[in-house]
Amino acid sequence: MPSFLVAILVLTFPALVVAAALRDAMSYTIPNWISAALVVLFPLAALAVGLPLPAIGLHVGVGVGVLAAGMAMFALRWVGGGDAKLLAAASLWIGWPALTGFLLTAALAGGGLAGVLILMRSALFRPLALMGPPWVARLAEPGEPVPYGVAICIGALVTLSASPFGAVLGL
């Protein structure tokens, strides 16, 4: 497969996680098609970059394990269903051993995002947010959830270079 086609295939990962983050920030939803596309495109990208079958199996195991953990977090109402699916699909691409860095970065980004939302929802900044587009005003609404897809996206983009796909992109 020509290298530019491999690069395009690999670039679907950051493109899709950014699309998920934007959609989550704007509507508090992550469409199922984004996570499904990540899962469907993974084996094609893995084979295109020459990942050996045992490594592909390890990536699948990581994705399944994170999906199980995400389902438990969803059952406990810690995260939304879209967040759990996106986290698992991104973990599939990130794999092992970069998973720890991905989860840590996503957790730190989630904490930072929560801090920004607390400020946006404060009496000082909320009037400014209300002057923005409707989706920004909704983010500034007290009691609304945290669009954790944004944090998952940040974690995925930061740790992409530690995955087998980072080398293809020159990261």
Residues of the chain with pLDDT under 50: none
pLDDT digits (tens, 9 = 90+) for 160-169: 999 999 988 7
| The pLDDT of residue 170 | 76
104/97 Cα distance (integer angstroms): 12
| The pLDDT of residue 126 | 93
CB atoms inside a 10 Å sphere around CB 135: 14
Sorted by sequence, the CB contacts under 8 Å of residue 128 that are 6+ apart come out as: none
| The pLDDT of residue 1 | 67
| The pLDDT of residue 171 | 66
CB 131 within 8 Å of CB 153: no
| Number of residues in the chain | 171
| The pLDDT of residue 167 | 82
Quote the pTM value. Answer: 0.94
Delimit the domains of the chain by residue range. 4-169
**Which residue from 24, 44, 46 is spatially nearest to 34, judged by alpha carbons?**
24
CB atoms inside a 10 Å sphere around CB 8: 13
